[in-house]
Amino acid sequence: MSRLTTAGVYGTSGAVALAGVGWTAWHGLQQPGIALAFGALIAVGELARCRALPGEREPAPLGAAGALAYALLARCADGPAAHGMPQTVAVVVAAVLLGSVPHVARGEGPALEHVVHRTLTAAFAAVCFQPLSHSGELDRLLGHGAWHALFLLALLALTALCDALLAAALLHDRTRYPYAPLLRDELRALGGVGAAVCATAAALPLAVAVAGLWALPLFSLPLLLTQLSFRRHARVRTAYRQIIASLARSTEVAGYTRPGHARRVARLSCAVGREMGLSGADLAVLEYAALMHDIGQLSLVDPVPEGATALLPAAEQRRIALLGGAVVRQTGVHGAASVAAVVERQADPYRDQPRAARIVRAVNAYDDLAGGSGGTAGGALAALEELRLATARDFQPEVVEALARVLARGGLAPAPPG
């Protein structure tokens, strides 16, 4: 996907939004009570927006469900729904922007891509559903029973799939990471809160058709409570990450490693992992292991000069790695055993290491060498060349080449400390 195509997606979304708002302003708002009720639901969902957890891509599930439900609304208790696709887009865009005002005031977004996705998914669902509904073909073919509900679920699944394809393509274009792992992450996210969004989006129009607008708060409450529980879970995960980051900084504070070394290794390891197709939980384990890879140095009586463990004898590297793994196991954080296994294998020949350990070892050595701690005068290029010369035993060739590609995209100079 080219940069021109990304600009085209954003341009298309903007054109759809402007056309919807303009059409609605010119022709007037149809059934304003219904529009106001769904707009309020979407705005409340955006107000409750929180930072998505790893593996989750929808920060405002209630807003997403409300937008899709309005696109799929065929009738209210007192008669058929009369709004069309342009009004659907106008109401969704206005509600998203209104619900985002407090977040913008705090400097927290929303990101333009979030608005683009909300606009295009609502427009897609409305285009697929409303012509069939307004013409009466849907009632004639499926009626109002179970087949109608199944049709809504199938249409929502198709909408979610298209949104995942688009999201992965935009992320691929922005980061240049391989497309397949990014798409796998997006599809995996559909099995979490995404499934709850689709279920609620299908239930809301069916409930409103029978019970009227009073069904909106009743049927939205479970998803709102689910969103709040995800927020609490996110706080726990954030606390875990802060524990890991604090432990990683302990080697810097004690003078065992250069400032910012653990963060640089973690950031670059995650980029290399993405380049090699890692995603989801594997990427989280890689990040935590990269942050904690030097924690075993706290057992040393005399610090290694500038923390360059890549230059130590193999036996000393192995002792530090085993001590580091023992420390990680004592933290009790989520996935500590997996992270410890990666840290403990840092000094093994790469053929005996798991993939995450191979990545952390190569990136750690690169940062040690390119940072001037190992006497490598040629800087980053010389560091990469030295890694290539050691691929017989110490570093996997595929990892080194993936590291070279990442560095070529972002510049060969190592990241500044801090």
Which DSSP string do the residues of 138-188 spell out, in sequence order?
A: HHHHHTTSHHHHHHHHHHHHHHHHHHHHHHHHHHHHHH---HHHHHHHHHH
**What is the token pair recorded at 177?**
């990471």
- The neighbouring-strand residues paired with 76 are 79
The helix/strand/coil state of 337 is helix
Evaluate if residue 17 carries a pLDDT over 60: yes
The pLDDT of residue 56 is 52
Phi-psi region of 376 (alpha: psi -120 to 50; beta: other; left: phi over 0): beta
Q: How much is the mean pLDDT over the chain?
A: 82
The pLDDT of residue 375 is 42
At a CB cut-off of 8 Å and minimum separation 6, what does 329 contact? 336, 337, 340
What are the helix (H) ranges across 254-354?
261-275, 280-292, 314-331, 336-344
Among residues of the chain, what percentage have pLDDT more than 70?
A: 89
Which tens digits make up the pLDDT trace of 292-349? Answer: 888 877 777 666 666 566 667 777 778 888 888 888 887 766 677 888 888 888 878 8
The pLDDT of residue 162 is 92
| Cα separation, 416 vs 35, whole angstroms | 51
The pLDDT of residue 171 is 82
Nearest Cα residue to 92 out of 52, 47, 19, 40 = 40
Ordered by where they begin, the domains of the chain are 3-235 (no CATH), 254-410 (1.10.3210.10)
Give the residue with greater pLDDT, 273 vs 111: 273
Which tens digits make up the pLDDT trace of 59-94? Answer: 788 889 999 999 999 888 778 888 989 999 999 999
Q: What are phi and psi of 258, to 5 degrees?
A: -70, 150
- The neighbouring-strand residues paired with 80 are 75
- The neighbouring-strand residues paired with 75 are 80
Which tens digits make up the pLDDT trace of 227-265? Answer: 777 777 777 777 777 878 887 888 777 777 778 888 889
pTM score, two decimals?
0.77
Which tens digits make up the pLDDT trace of 19-47? Answer: 999 999 999 999 999 999 999 999 998 88
Cis peptide before 110 (omega within 30 of 0): yes
